[in-house]
Amino acid sequence: MKVALIGIGQAGGKVVERLTKFDAEMDFDAVQGAFAINSATPDLQSLEHVETHLIGADRVNGHGVGGDNELGAEIMQSDVQEVLGDLDGHVTSRSEAIFVVAGLGGGTGSGGAPVLVHHLQQVYDIPVYALGILPGRNEGSLYQANAGRSLKTIVREADATILVDNDAWHSQGESVESGFESINQNIAQRFGLLFASGEAVEGVGESVVDSSEVINTLRQGGIAALGYASAPASDDSTQNIRSVMSVSRQALLTGTSLPEARVGDAALLVIAGKPETIPRKGVEKARRWLEDETESMQVRGGDFPLDSDRIAALVLLGGVERSDRIQEFLDRARAAQRVEDEKAAGDPADAFANDELENLF
């Protein structure tokens, strides 16, 4: 699937840069344009592989919005025509989807991403997806509250929102902060493979997955998760039946971007590896297992021919909003919002902003 990537805020920019590098290193050519937007100049200066655009210079002078996502939304809204003008050459006619990437807990990405998605939907007739990063459990209440409001809005605006939880994919004992590097690398590898797996490959069989399978899996909108696992492959495909089953299970049960999101409306199982090593029997068995486990009636599947000594499974699971993990996050965000409201009410300076006392005129 040919994609245009737009990262907003610090996390968004870093992830888009990683994805772009991964796509180039693997020679996939799925990324058709890569762009980073931020209100903080230093964050943009650290990026080398993407085009950059500073927003809100008149309001925050290149210093970022300090976690204020309402301000993030406002500055994106004020500068949106310039941003769209700059994006014009980056979203090429070959792109089949746009991915807007942002950390939902901060200010610029959290506030700016839903606004930009809204405007992209008016301009482009290809799907506009969000890749949203949820704050880890130990991040502060401002991050949680921001992410709650941002998630609610972006799910409404985007054709689908694929979530990555910052508590997924980092090792035990490692702080979220120090784990960013490895999380970003994991995101780049998994999403990079998903984009490339939907590429039309000439001269291969009809079991090969194409981009319409990805788009159809996400068609019902809402929230999606992406899982991945791999294992060494044998040259003999019959020896790989068990491996295909076990990487498929791991991709859903332990390798997913949204831990514990196992039930959904639609799923796509992509098996990557050398074509002659992929066992049809194993793939069919894994698909049936996925149907039972995800309680989804629509499980699509396909191969991704890849010259590798390993065999890998990618599981894209759409419609996971009813999963416990999302409910747990929303409870956390609501509790955090109450903490933030109390903090604001406790600040004497904010008493003047309180609605209970109306302005004189």
Ligand X SMILES: Nc1nc2c(ncn2[C@@H]2O[C@H](COP(=O)(O)OP(=O)(O)OP(=O)(O)O)[C@@H](O)[C@H]2O)c(=O)[nH]1
State the residues that interact with ligand X by CB under 6 A: 9-11, 14, 38-40, 64-67, 103, 105-110, 133, 135, 139, 143, 166, 176, 180, 183-184
38 or 217, CB closer to ligand X? 38
Asked whether residue 77 is marked as a ligand-binding residue, the answer is: no
131 or 306, CB closer to ligand X? 131
Q: How far is the CB of 257 from ligand X (least distance, A)?
A: 10
43 or 96, CB closer to ligand X? 43
Asked whether residue 11 is marked as a ligand-binding residue, the answer is: yes
Q: How far is the CB of 37 from ligand X (least distance, A)?
A: 10
Calpha distance 119→129 (Å, rounded): 13
106 or 127, CB closer to ligand X? 106
Q: How far is the CB of 88 from ligand X (least distance, A)?
A: 23
Q: How far is the CB of 26 from ligand X (least distance, A)?
A: 21
164 or 317, CB closer to ligand X? 164
Asked whether residue 139 is marked as a ligand-binding residue, the answer is: yes
Look up tokens 């799923």; give the residue. Answer: 267
Q: How far is the CB of 198 from ligand X (least distance, A)?
A: 23
Q: How far is the CB of 215 from ligand X (least distance, A)?
A: 25
Q: How far is the CB of 67 from ligand X (least distance, A)?
A: 4
14 or 21, CB closer to ligand X? 14
Asked whether residue 192 is marked as a ligand-binding residue, the answer is: no
Asked whether residue 12 is marked as a ligand-binding residue, the answer is: yes
Asked whether residue 140 is marked as a ligand-binding residue, the answer is: no
Q: Please answer whether residues 218 and 50 qualify as being in contact, where contact means their C-beta atoms are separated by less than 8 angstroms.
A: no
∠ CA(13), CA(16), CA(21), 5° rounding? 125
Q: Which residues of 327-353 are buried (b: 16+ CB within 10 A; e: fewer)?
A: eebbebbeebbeebeeeeeeeeeeeee
> Of the candidates 23, 53, 26, 22, which has an alpha carbon nearest to the alpha carbon of residue 39?
53
Asked whether residue 9 is marked as a ligand-binding residue, the answer is: no
Q: How far is the CB of 183 from ligand X (least distance, A)?
A: 4
Asked whether residue 225 is marked as a ligand-binding residue, the answer is: no
136 or 198, CB closer to ligand X? 136
User: Going by C-beta distance under 8 Å and a sequence separation of 6 or more, which residues neighbour residue 270?
Assistant: 193, 194, 197, 209, 301, 302, 303, 304, 313, 314, 315, 316
User: Going by C-beta distance under 8 Å and a sequence separation of 6 or more, which residues neighbour residue 88?
Assistant: none
Q: Please, how many CA atoms are within 13 Å of residue 222, restricted to the half-sphere of its CB? A: 16
184 or 230, CB closer to ligand X? 184
Burial class (CB in 10 A: 0-12, 13-18, 19+), 85: exposed
Asked whether residue 184 is marked as a ligand-binding residue, the answer is: yes
Q: Please, how many CA atoms are within 13 Å of residue 297, restricted to the half-sphere of its CB? A: 0
Calpha distance 303→300 (Å, rounded): 11
Indicate the annotated binding residues for GTP. Answer: 10-14, 107-109, 139, 166, 184
Indicate the annotated binding residues. Answer: 10-14, 107-109, 139, 166, 184
